[in-house]
């Protein structure tokens, strides 16, 4: 693999603007190479020029002018020999304190074509200074975060002692010799200022930073010979708990209501119970994992850029036949990028602390948690995907052949089948189509390097690949098509005037199988992903009792549920309602029901249509009150207007009439226009007139601009798909009314799948613009001085 592709595949996508622009520098070197090739095409000119150059050098050798003096930004004159190509200078820190400047003077700029090489070194210096500034800034940030984690460890250690040794709180003068939570394996101190020192002091010995309080509170001093000796114990820092407040994130509706009541009563009580300790430790554990991953990517950023500078200089030497790599790389190695070791030392201290305090001294277990293994693609997934796809194709052909052989489209039982059986199986069709669209989204997200797993908040190593999602969809499609094939009879038994009960129960059996697989507690069929979706769905259903910590985690749930229910796709969840009605108080043996005559059914017919929009409306309200973001209020109004439009269309669908038709058309038109603007401008970030890509945006991960314009047009057309129900296109000669509704529901799922891709693309670009590569993890404790500063 060429290095240009290698660096593109290994870089942190959100930091891609901060990496050395290897492609741009390589393009300049190609221009130098093309210039040299053009010189070779004119040998007479080249020979005459080289002859003149040799004669000039011959005469100047006797005059003593072969050695010249150079000045560089006021520096003293420096003699250079004929073999020296560049003069490198590394200055001090800039005024912002985030990085020093590095400048290179090309000493052979008077040579023919030297202007290309001058431009090359100028760009190279710009890239190096950019990398240095970014790297130093990120190191400063992680050192500040390390200091915060250090203070958090002070509090959590005191918390553990308070919980495990309640007497310690009253006996402050009594020294603690042991603690039940101390690690018997690793006696090294905790993170102890994972950093705790300024950059100017980081070169001091690491041992000097590891002498603060641990659970066993032992004190070690050094003798005159430098050996560590044990001199006694000191009290644990229980007084820290008097200056902190526990910030346990609300994870349940009850805890949310409790926090609201405590806020109203203006009470702040730290319970210091084992249950609270467990929550605090879990939060702290997640904070350490995210922090360690950040350090790992920052170290990878350093190594990859060092390698990039080395590669580009070797390529320069190969093209120009000049020896400049050694001098330039010496400057790079001596710079902050090549000489600092703060990140490596910090990672070692984080490992020691995490192993001791969160894995009971078990290094293997701790490192597995800190360094989750990357998920491997398995060949059997591809095999079964192909196998299921072949089976689906065979089943579709069998259904088509049987339909034409039995002339089922003209059968008298066609009406009953479409009214009663088709809605049961269409539910699975919607789910399968949604899964296939999601698989396609994952494929294109990965192809265009959009970090969807980070945006959705998936745990590393547990996210599903597009093959796995397509495998689940194809497996469900195979079961559904097999059920349709077994349930394709449209004529009753003349003796019993009913259908076979076992055959009629096939759709209900499929629903039970899907529910059993979804809620299966055993570690099979992607349990982590199933439980993640269930948890996310519960958070949406109980909104706004759950805090919207990661908007796109809730967006994922909203996307999954809303894709199945929005606009005409509301038929999917209405199919679940129909299941209850059909098998509950309908006569499934004769394929008949009276659902439309039931007031309860009609009431839920309205409610189900508004559920997804109501959920999003409540979430927008909570974010409006918490974040004070006016855009959330506008988004909430958009969903409120959508609820009105959906209710009006549902009422017209049930009752008909000119009045309902006008109200449905008016409300739906207003909502659709607002939704189209929100989709294209707010969610996708397009239609920017002054961008370098007219009417699109500044950065486009998809190189073909026509894709964006096609997506805009398609989104507008599919947004107005509801007009078919208002204008009366409910049934044709070849398609039944239920089939027509299913087709438009599928179109809405396709529209939603397209929306998903461009929505996450825009969010990814926003993260890139802010260099946001990690989610913010709330820390379990807040100090009094921090609250005052805030």
Q: Print the domain residue range for 558.
A: 379-488+536-774
Backbone angles phi, psi at 729, to 5 degrees: -85, 70
pLDDT recorded at residue 605: 84
- In the 8-state DSSP scheme, what is residue 680? I
Structure tokens at 339: 């000489």
Residue 355 within a domain: yes
Q: What is the pTM of this model?
A: 0.79
d(CA 544, CA 619): 5
176-185, 353-362, 467-476, 539-548, range with greatest mean pLDDT:
467-476
Residue 528 within a domain: no
pLDDT recorded at residue 678: 94
pLDDT bin (cut points 50, 70, 90) of residue 473 is: very high
Res. 277: pLDDT tops 50: yes
Residue keyed to tokens 């396709």: 750
Res. 159: pLDDT tops 60: yes
Q: What is the average per-residue pLDDT within 442-458?
A: 89
Q: What is the average per-residue pLDDT within 459-488?
A: 91
- Comparing 112-121, 259-268, 649-658, 776-785, the range with the smallest average pLDDT is 259-268
> Computed over its alpha carbons, how large is the radius of gyration of the chain?
34
Residue 523 within a domain: no
Cα dihedral across residues 120, 126, 127, 132: positive or negative: positive
Query: Of the candidates 338, 368, 398, which is a domain's last residue?
Result: 368
Task: Write the CB contacts of 40 (distance below 8 Å, at least 6 apart in sequence).
Answer: 46
- In the 8-state DSSP scheme, what is residue 87? E
Taking a C-beta distance cutoff of 8 angstroms, is the pair 402, 408 a contact? yes
pLDDT single digits (tens) 482-537: 999 998 887 777 777 678 888 889 999 999 999 999 999 988 888 988 988 888 88
Q: What is the average per-residue pLDDT within 190-201?
A: 40
Within this chain, do residues 679 and 598 fall inside the same structural domain, yes or no? Answer: yes
Nearest to 102 by CA among 268, 260, 333, 291: 333
d(CA 647, CA 606): 6
pLDDT recorded at residue 516: 93
Query: Of the candidates 368, 403, 423, which is a domain's last residue?
Result: 368
Q: How far is C-alpha 184 from the geometric centre of its chain's CA atoms?
A: 38
Taking a C-beta distance cutoff of 8 angstroms, is the pair 67, 79 a contact? yes
551 versus 138: the higher-pLDDT residue is 138
d(CA 359, CA 371): 14
d(CA 575, CA 591): 15
pLDDT recorded at residue 16: 86
Within this chain, do residues 549 and 621 fall inside the same structural domain, yes or no? Answer: yes
Res. 394: pLDDT tops 90: yes
Task: Write the CB contacts of 63 (distance below 8 Å, at least 6 apart in sequence).
Answer: none
Q: How far is C-alpha 25 from the geometric centre of its chain's CA atoms?
A: 30
d(CA 370, CA 376): 18
Within this chain, do residues 116 and 61 fall inside the same structural domain, yes or no? Answer: yes
Q: What is the average per-residue pLDDT within 626-636?
A: 87
Within this chain, do residues 632 and 751 fall inside the same structural domain, yes or no? Answer: yes
pLDDT recorded at residue 10: 85
579 versus 60: the higher-pLDDT residue is 579
Q: How far is CA 80 from CA 121, 465, 756, 772, in A?
A: 18, 58, 60, 46
Taking a C-beta distance cutoff of 8 angstroms, is the pair 589, 501 a contact? yes
Backbone angles phi, psi at 589, to 5 degrees: -70, -30
Within this chain, do residues 337 and 386 fall inside the same structural domain, yes or no? Answer: no
Residue 500 within a domain: no
Q: Return the SS3 of 711.
A: helix
Query: Of the candidates 307, 334, 368, which is a domain's last residue?
Result: 368
d(CA 160, CA 276): 10
d(CA 602, CA 607): 9
d(CA 147, CA 192): 9
Within this chain, do residues 609 and 691 fall inside the same structural domain, yes or no? Answer: yes
Cα dihedral value 286, 291, 295, 297, nearest 10: 60
Residue 390 within a domain: yes
Rounded to a whole number of angstroms, the distance between the first and last alpha carbons of the chain is 50
Count how many domains the chain has: 2
Within this chain, do residues 362 and 384 fall inside the same structural domain, yes or no? Answer: no
Within this chain, do residues 346 and 426 fall inside the same structural domain, yes or no? Answer: no
Cis amide bond preceding 544, omega within 30: yes
Burial class (CB in 10 A: 0-12, 13-18, 19+), 309: buried
pLDDT single digits (tens) 598-624: 888 888 888 888 888 888 898 888 888
Residue keyed to tokens 């096609």: 710
- In the 8-state DSSP scheme, what is residue 248? P
Taking a C-beta distance cutoff of 8 angstroms, is the pair 106, 117 a contact? yes
Within this chain, do residues 335 and 440 fall inside the same structural domain, yes or no? Answer: no
Res. 342: pLDDT tops 60: yes
Residue 545 within a domain: yes
Within this chain, do residues 350 and 445 fall inside the same structural domain, yes or no? Answer: no
Long-range CB contacts (< 8 A, 24+ apart) of 536-540?
Answer: 536/560, 537/561, 540/615, 540/619
Residue 190 within a domain: yes
Residue 780 within a domain: no
Res. 234: pLDDT tops 80: no
Within this chain, do residues 362 and 467 fall inside the same structural domain, yes or no? Answer: no
462 versus 464: the higher-pLDDT residue is 464
DSSP one-letter string for 460-476: TTTPPPHHHHHHHHHHH
Q: What is the largest CA-CA distance in the chain?
A: 123
pLDDT bin (cut points 50, 70, 90) of residue 103 is: confident
Within this chain, do residues 340 and 387 fall inside the same structural domain, yes or no? Answer: no
Backbone angles phi, psi at 88, to 5 degrees: -100, 145
Nearest to 88 by CA among 64, 105, 112: 105
């Amino acid at each position: 693999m060429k290095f240009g592709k290698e660096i593109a595949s290994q870089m942190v996508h959100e930091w891609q603007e901060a990496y050395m622009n290897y492609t741009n520098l390589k393009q300049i070197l190609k221009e130098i190479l093309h210039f040299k090739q053009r010189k070779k095409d004119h040998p007479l000119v080249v020979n005459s020029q080289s002859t003149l150059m040799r004669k000039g050098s011959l005469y100047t050798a006797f005059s003593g002018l072969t050695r010249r003096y150079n000045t560089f930004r006021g520096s003293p004159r420096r003699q250079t020999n004929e073999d020296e190509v560049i003069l490198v200078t590394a200055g001090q820190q800039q005024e912002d304190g985030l990085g020093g400047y590095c400048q290179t003077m090309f000493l052979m700029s008077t040579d023919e074509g030297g202007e290309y090489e001058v431009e090359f070194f100028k760009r190279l210096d710009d890239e190096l200074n950019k990398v240095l500034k970014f790297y130093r800034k990120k190191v400063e940030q992680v050192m500040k975060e390390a200091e915060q984690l250090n203070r958090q460890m002070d509090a959590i250690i005191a918390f553990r002692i308070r919980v495990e040794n309640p007497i310690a709180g009253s006996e402050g003068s009594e020294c603690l010799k042991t603690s039940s939570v101390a690690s018997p394996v690793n006696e090294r101190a905790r993170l102890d200022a994972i950093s705790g020192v300024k950059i100017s002091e980081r070169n001091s010995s690491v041992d000097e930073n590891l002498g603060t309080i641990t659970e066993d509170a032992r004190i070690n001093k050094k003798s005159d010979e430098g050996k560590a000796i044990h001199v006694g114990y000191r009290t644990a820092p229980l007084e820290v708990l008097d200056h902190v407040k526990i910030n346990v994130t609300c994870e349940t509706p009850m805890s949310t209501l409790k926090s609201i009541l405590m806020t109203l009563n203006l009470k702040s009580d730290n319970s210091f119970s084992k249950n609270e300790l467990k929550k605090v430790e879990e939060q702290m554990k997640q904070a350490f994992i995210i922090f360690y991953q950040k350090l790992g990517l920052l170290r990878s950023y350093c190594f990859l850029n060092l390698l990039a500078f080395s590669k580009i200089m070797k390529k320069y030497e190969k093209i120009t036949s000049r020896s400049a790599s050694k001098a330039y790389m010496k400057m790079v190695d001596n710079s902050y990028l090549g000489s600092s070791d703060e990140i490596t030392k910090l990672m070692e201290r984080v490992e020691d602390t995490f192993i001791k305090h969160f894995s009971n001294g078990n290094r293997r277990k701790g490192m597995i948690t800190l360094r989750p293994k990357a998920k491997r693609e398995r060949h059997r997934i591809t095999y079964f995907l192909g196998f299921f796809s072949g089976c689906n194709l065979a089943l579709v052909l069998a259904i088509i052949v049987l339909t034409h052989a039995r002339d089922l489209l003209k059968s008298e039982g066609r009406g009953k089948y479409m009214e009663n059986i088709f809605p049961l199986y269409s539910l699975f069709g919607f789910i399968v189509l949604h899964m296939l669209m999601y698989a396609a989204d994952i494929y294109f997200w990965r192809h265009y390097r959009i970090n969807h797993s980070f945006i959705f908040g998936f745990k590393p190593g547990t996210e599903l690949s597009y093959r796995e999602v397509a495998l689940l969809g194809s497996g469900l499609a195979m079961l559904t098509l097999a059920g349709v094939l077994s349930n394709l009879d449209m004529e009753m038994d003349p003796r019993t005037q009913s259908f076979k009960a076992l055959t009629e129960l096939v759709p209900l059996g499929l629903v039970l199988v899907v529910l059993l697989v979804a809620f299966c507690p055993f570690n099979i069929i992607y349990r982590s992903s199933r439980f993640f979706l269930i948890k996310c769905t519960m958070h949406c259903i109980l909104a706004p009792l759950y805090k919207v910590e990661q908007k796109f985690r809730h967006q994922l749930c909203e996307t999954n549920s809303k894709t199945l229910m929005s606009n005409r796709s509301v038929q999917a969840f209405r199919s679940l309602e129909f299941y209850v009605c059909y098998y509950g108080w309908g006569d499934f043996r004769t394929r008949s029901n009276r659902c439309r005559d039931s007031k309860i059914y009609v009431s839920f017919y309205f409610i189900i249509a508004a559920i997804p929009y109501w959920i999003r409306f409540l979430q927008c309200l909570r974010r409006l009150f918490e974040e004070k973001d006016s855009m959330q209020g506008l988004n909430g109004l958009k969903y409120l207007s959508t609820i009105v439009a959906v209710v009006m269309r549902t009422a017209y669908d049930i009752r008909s009439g000119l009045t309902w038709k006008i109200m449905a058309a008016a409300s739906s038109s207003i909502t659709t226009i607002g939704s189209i603007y929100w989709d294209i401008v707010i969610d996708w970030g397009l239609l920017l007139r002054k961008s370098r890509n007219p009417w699109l945006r500044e950065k486009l991960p998809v190189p073909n601009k026509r894709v964006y314009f096609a997506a805009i047009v398609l989104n507008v057309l599919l947004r107005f798909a509801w007009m078919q129900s208002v204008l009366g296109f409910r049934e044709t000669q070849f398609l039944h009314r239920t089939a027509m509704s299913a087709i438009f529901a599928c179109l809405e799922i396709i529209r939603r799948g397209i929306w998903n891709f461009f929505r996450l693309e825009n969010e990814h670009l926003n993260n890139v613009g802010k260099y946001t590569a990690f989610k913010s993890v709330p820390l379990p404790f807040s100090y009094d001085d921090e609250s005052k500063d805030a």
